[in-house]
C-alpha cells in the first residue's frame, strides 16, 4: 500500500471483482440486437437451468452471453439493463425482474465463471482450475 492511500479509501473496501474494467452494455438494445447477440441455444438453456435459484440462472445466462459477445464477464450485475435481463429470463421461463442482485457469495460467481469457461471451451477446464484464483 502506498503512503497516500488510507484504509478508508472506497477502492480498498470493494471486493476484488468490483475492480474489473467497466463493461458498457447497450441501455436499450433493439429486438434485432437481442436476437443476434443475447439469444441462448437449447444447449445454453439446459446448462443455465442447472443453476440453483432464479437469480443464479439469470446471472449464468447473462455472463455466458457477455463472454461470447465481449470476451469478458459483466462486473456489475446491478448495471445490467432490464431489457437484457428479462429477455434472458424469458428464455429460461423466469418471471420478469427489475434488477439482478449480486450473488450472496463471491465464490458462487467464480464457480459460475469457471463453469461457463468449461462449457464454452472444454479444453480450458482440463488445464485451469478455480483454485488458481485462490490466494
Question: Can you give the pLDDT at residue 7?
Answer: 42
Mean pLDDT, range 18-32, rounded to an integer: 76
Question: Can you give the pLDDT at residue 123?
Answer: 64
Above 60 in pLDDT, residue 78?
A: yes
pLDDT one-digit tens code per residue, 101-123? 888 888 888 999 999 999 998 76
Residue from 50, 55, 70 nearest 115 by CA: 50
Give the cell for residue 28: 436499450
Question: Can you give the pLDDT at residue 8?
Answer: 45
Question: Can you give the pLDDT at residue 20?
Answer: 54
Kindly indicate the confidence band of residue 23, based on its pLDDT and cuts at 50, 70 and 90. confident
d(CA 48, CA 43): 9
d(CA 91, CA 37): 13
Work out the angle at residue 53's Cα, subtended by the Cα atoms of residues 105 and 77, and round it to the nearest 5 degrees.
55
Mean pLDDT, range 25-34, rounded to an integer: 88
Amino acid at each position: 500500500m502506498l503512503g497516500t492511500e488510507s484504509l478508508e479509501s472506497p477502492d480498498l473496501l470493494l471486493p476484488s471483482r468490483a475492480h474489473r474494467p467497466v463493461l458498457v452494455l447497450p441501455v436499450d438494445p433493439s429486438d434485432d440486437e437481442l436476437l443476434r447477440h443475447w439469444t441462448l441455444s437449447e444447449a445454453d438453456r439446459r446448462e443455465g437451468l442447472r443453476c440453483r435459484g432464479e437469480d443464479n440462472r439469470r446471472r449464468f445466462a447473462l455472463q455466458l452471453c457477455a463472454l461470447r459477445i465481449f470476451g469478458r464477464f459483466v462486473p456489475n450485475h446491478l448495471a445490467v439493463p432490464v431489457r437484457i435481463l428479462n429477455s434472458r429470463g424469458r428464455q429460461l421461463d423466469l418471471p420478469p425482474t427489475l434488477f439482478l442482485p449480486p450473488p450472496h457469495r463471491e465464490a458462487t460467481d467464480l464457480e459460475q465463471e469457471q463453469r461457463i469457461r468449461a462449457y464454452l471451451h472444454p479444453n480450458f477446464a482440463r488445464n485451469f482450475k478455480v483454485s488458481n484464483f485462490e490466494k
